[in-house]
Amino acid sequence: MCGIVGYTGTEAAKDILISGLKRLEYRGYDSAGVALERTSAHETVVDVIRRVGKVAGLESELANVDAEAACGIGHTRWATHGRPSTVNAHPHVSCDGRIAIVHNGIIENFAELRSELEGRGHTFASETDTEVFAHLIEEAYAREHDLLGALREACTHVVGAYGIAAVCADEPGVIAVARKDSPIIIGRGEHGSYVASDMIAVIDSTRDVVVLEDGQFARLTPEGISYTDAQGEPIEPPVTHVDWNIDMAEKAGYPDFMLKEICEQPRVVRDTLVGRMTGGELSIDELGLSLEELNLIDRVYVIACGTSYHAGLIAKNLIEMWARIPCEVEAASEFRYRDPIITPSTLVVAVSQSGETADTLAAIRDARIKGAKVFGITNVVGSPVARESDGVIYTKANKEIAVASTKSFIGQVVSLTLLALLLAQVKYRLTVGQVRMLFRELGDTAEQIQWIFETQKDAIHEAALACKDAHSALFVGRGMGAAIANEGALKLKEISYLHAEAYAAGEMKHGPIALIDPGFPVIAIATKSPVYDKTVSNLKECEARGAKIIVVATEGDEDIREIADHVIYIPRVRDAFCAITATVPLQLLAREVALMRGCDVDQPRNLAKSVTVE
Ligand code: AGP
């Protein structure tokens, strides 16, 4: 969504803020700004500098600003209310310009608050919801003359989600922070105190952080940090040590984060499986459910959004095939509004790379109110999804920077495969020996992905050339291939802006085939499986109408060349695991097409890495 960073200490705040904002830019990048305290003679003022576009533009604007400021806050924005513009960029200020704030989240009652504030004489400069916070704090500060107290008071009027940081010219060196639903981490470094919406912004300066909880507040000064609850009572939140290193989150020599993260997928498979088969027994202790409780599960809902939803489609095939219990996959934004049928023996699995997605979080809360056990699968330690689930598996993909999810998807699919195997085992649908065999084959997918990198580069490049100028594309498959087709279509459209749709191959003749004209790209998953022949028949129907056929096929399948214009091979693998291997060529294809079309593969237009609004 948006990125927040703040610093108060003995170093130049400007450099620290810009460095942090660059690390946060993947969260949202349509504008950026900073507020820097400047003390001259006998008074302090707050300078606000904002720019439309990426952080680099703001950095050049700051080149002429003196680096003396030792306290400041910064923000990189993904617009929700108000178009991307300088006047809508954060920080926003009070009428007198002495209070500045940055905010990540959404204020649902901002229109009502704005009307009341304007009625009391406040003037607004922007179209944003955020600006009401600056004026609410200004009013409370006039009464309390305490920035943190004023922020607490302002929060009592706000309905919505916020991670917010505020500075005030009358309290030099102080940053007041509050959190509800939008992530905030706070830490002490050698040279001062730090606040950010994501660990990556401050990891160079501190690894021991407090993940602020909803309703908690913090006061940062160069000397230290104090915390209170919503009533102003002092609290001592636990400190979390973060052990991943920043070079794992940097490009490490790759041209872009997306390629780096695609290439990290073999490691993600291995890391996600580490410790899962101890003493010959499959173990997912984080589930928080006993084997008896697991055995009672008679329905599974997988709730998620986007790519995580597609991981759920793959889980459905596996859970129903192996455990023989119904599994429904729902877009989180739909699940919560349709009053789903939930009983104490329903397991709800929430899948979210960021662990912050508002739709998924809201669905989790609804499911828990209805009495379901909720199990989270996420890539971010301590994220809201992790904290609000009864149990959680971390996908061990390490930080995923590119907005398009790739390695986190593979981590999700591997984790969901483990869950399906465990459910099948506790329900005696699979023997321990079968589970061990499948677990080994699951681990083999790491090498199979590596084989694709080493042998299919040219085939993928040729296929990308064949569809880069198209206006639309269809992704088709049957069974697991149909689920994979969804992810392939999303990858292509979200980073190359080439429209793409996914269809079950058998559905083509019920309408979509009307789209096919000479040269129309049809991208098929036609790996060796029980539905291979049927899929080939569907492709022949497309070929007969002049379609350009691109196929992900099983290594050694030469017959497919009779109908395919381009073939991308993957190693022979059990159908249950082909989602892990067959998705990789589609990720690479989407990236190649996007690059050919001059798109930014790491930061596609209009998108953000975590969508913390509904
Ligand atoms: C996937 O490439 C997209 N970035 C998007 O669909 C994403 O999967 C979706 O917003 C869900 O995000 P989450 O996994 O962090 O909940």
Does some domain include residue 482?
A: yes
Does some domain include residue 249?
A: no
Asked if residue 185 and residue 145 are part of one domain, the reply reads: yes
Instruction: Please pick, among 2, 263, 327, 467, the residue that the annotation labels catalytic.
Output: 2
Does some domain include residue 539?
A: yes
Asked if residue 479 and residue 367 are part of one domain, the reply reads: no
Asked if residue 465 and residue 449 are part of one domain, the reply reads: no
Instruction: Please pick, among 22, 373, 396, 609, the residue that the annotation labels catalytic.
Output: 609
Helix (H) or strand (E) holding 392: strand 391-394
Closest ligand 1 atom number to CA of residue 304: 16
Q: 114 vs 118, 133, 191, 377, CA distance in Å? A: 6, 9, 38, 39
- Best residue among 198, 308, 406 to mutate for probing ligand 1, ranked by most atoms within 8 Å of CB: 308
Letter string b/e over residues 44-59, b meaning 16 or more CB atoms within 10 A of that residue's CB: bebbbbbbbebbeebb
pLDDT band of 136, cuts 50, 70, 90: very high
Q: How close is the Cα of 350 to the center of ligand 1, in Å?
A: 13
- 12-62 residue pLDDT tens: 999 999 999 998 876 667 889 999 999 887 899 999 999 998 888 899 989
Peptide linkage before 91 cis (omega within 30 of 0): yes
Record the tokens describing residue 322, joined without a space.
Answer: 């192996």
Instruction: Check residue 64 and give its pLDDT.
Output: 84
Number of compact structural domains in the chain = 3
Asked if residue 367 and residue 320 are part of one domain, the reply reads: yes
Asked if residue 462 and residue 427 are part of one domain, the reply reads: no
Asked if residue 216 and residue 80 are part of one domain, the reply reads: yes
Asked if residue 483 and residue 578 are part of one domain, the reply reads: yes
- CATH number reported for the structural domain that contains residue 112 in this entry: 3.60.20.10
- 425-474 residue pLDDT tens: 999 999 999 999 999 999 999 999 999 999 999 999 999 999 999 999 99
Asked if residue 448 and residue 468 are part of one domain, the reply reads: no
Q: How many CA atoms lie within 13 A of 547 on its CB side?
A: 29
pLDDT at 557 over 90: yes
Asked if residue 426 and residue 484 are part of one domain, the reply reads: no
Asked if residue 442 and residue 463 are part of one domain, the reply reads: no
The number of beta carbons lying within 10 Å of the beta carbon of residue 325 is 18
Does some domain include residue 450?
A: yes
Structural domain ending residue among the three candidates 413, 434, 454: 454
Asked if residue 587 and residue 449 are part of one domain, the reply reads: no
Using CA positions, which residue lies closest to atom 16 of ligand 1? 352
Does some domain include residue 613?
A: no
| Residue 95 appears among annotated catalytic residues | no
Write out the E strands in 238-366: 240-241, 277-278, 281-282, 299-304, 327-331, 346-352
Instruction: Check residue 28 and give its pLDDT.
Output: 63
Top-ranked range on mean pLDDT: pick from 51-65, 178-192, 236-250, 302-316: 302-316
Does some domain include residue 438?
A: yes
| Residue 2 appears among annotated catalytic residues | yes
- Best residue among 257, 357, 389 to mutate for probing ligand 1, ranked by most atoms within 8 Å of CB: 357
Structural domain ending residue among the three candidates 430, 454, 478: 454
- Best residue among 309, 310, 354 to mutate for probing ligand 1, ranked by most atoms within 8 Å of CB: 354
Structural domain ending residue among the three candidates 205, 224, 243: 243
Lining ligand 1 with CB less than 6 A are 305-308, 352-354, 357, 360, 403-405, 494, 610-611
Does this model's pTM top 0.95? My answer is no
Domain, as residue range, for 190: 3-243
Instruction: Check residue 585 and give its pLDDT.
Output: 98
Give the Cα separation of 421 and 274 in Å (integer). Answer: 16
Record the tokens describing residue 295, joined without a space.
Answer: 């055995």
Give the Cα separation of 346 and 531 in Å (integer). Answer: 31
pLDDT band of 246, cuts 50, 70, 90: low
Helix (H) or strand (E) holding 535: helix 532-543
Asked if residue 462 and residue 440 are part of one domain, the reply reads: no
Q: How close is the Cα of 609 to the center of ligand 1, in Å?
A: 7
Q: How close is the Cα of 257 to the center of ligand 1, in Å?
A: 16
Query: Which residues does 426 contact at the CB level (< 8 Å), separation at least 6?
Result: 291, 294, 295
